[in-house]
Amino acid sequence: SAVISQKPSRDICQRGTSLTIQCQVDSQVTMMFWYRQQPGQSLTLIATANQGSEATYESGFVIDKFPISRPNLTFSTLTVSNMSPEDSSIYLCSVAPGAKGEQYFGPGTRLTVT
Amino acid sequence: TQLLEQSPQFLSIQEGENLTVYCNSSSVFSSLQWYRQEPGEGPVLLVTVVTGGEVKKLKRLTFQFGDARKDSSLHITAAQPGDTGLYLCAGVSGTYKYIFGTGTRLKVLA
């Protein structure tokens, strides 16, 4: 298993600004994942972050809008750039440390863009 | 595009009732996971099923993986208010390839 913390837990930001979300894991993991979730709805994968290489983005998500850093095996950041109200959502990071690919999620960051 | 459809989308039941949530796809998965998410928290893994036809029990929860590994069900017996939450299935294909279902929001009334 893994214990994941995220900062901030929530934020209210103005249109046009950027927010960086931090994700810290209590053990070393190869892959980290970033998801977006509208309240009460399912998860949409933004990107997969492997330490030491560029993140892999899913269709509809681009690096200029959602730059990701992965400086070591326990930490990652996701930046939401040039925010608009459509970026208001919950952002979750997760890891899958075991052989079965079972994911462990952080508590999420609730972002509101005004 | 792979899709995982869950039904029902919403379910509100009385404490003590039974319910079944379905997770269906036209794609084959190597395994399927079920998660429960409560407000303000991330999803928490309940179970992983790997073999076609596999049945796993977790107290009052029974999970089944379809024979063809395209679908799954979650049955809750004698639901309790603590079962309230968003239930998500996730199909796994390949390494680190996850497709999350559309979600089922369950509310159990005392």
According to the model, what pLDDT value does residue A51 have?
83
According to the model, what pLDDT value does residue B101 have?
95
According to the model, what pLDDT value does residue B50 have?
93
HEC string for chain B:
CCCCEEECCEEEEECCCCEEEEEECCCCCCEEEEEEECCCCCCEEEEEECCCCCEEEECCEEEEECCCCCEEEEEECCCCHHHCEEEEEEEECCCCCEEECCCEEEEEEC
Beta carbon pairs, A and B, within 8 Å: 55
Q: What is the mean pLDDT of chain A?
A: 94
Is A88's pLDDT higher than 70? yes
Query: What integer is the mean pLDDT of A46-59?
Result: 90
Is A40's pLDDT higher than 90? no
Which of A3, A24, A36, A43 to probe the B interface (max B CBs under 10 A)? A43
Q: Say what percent of chain A tops pLDDT 90.
A: 82
Q: Is there a contact between B41 and A108 if contact means CB atoms under 8 Å apart? A: yes
Segment-wise mean pLDDT, segments of 10 residues, chain B, 110 residues? 87 97 94 94 95 95 96 97 96 86 96
pLDDT band with cut points at 50, 70 and 90 for residue A67? very high
Enumerate residues 83 to 102 of chain B having a beta carbon within 8 A of any beta carbon in chain A.
86, 88, 90, 92, 95-96, 98, 100-102
According to the model, what pLDDT value does residue B22 have?
98
According to the model, what pLDDT value does residue A1 have?
83
According to the model, what pLDDT value does residue B24 have?
96
According to the model, what pLDDT value does residue A47 have?
95
According to the model, what pLDDT value does residue B2 have?
64
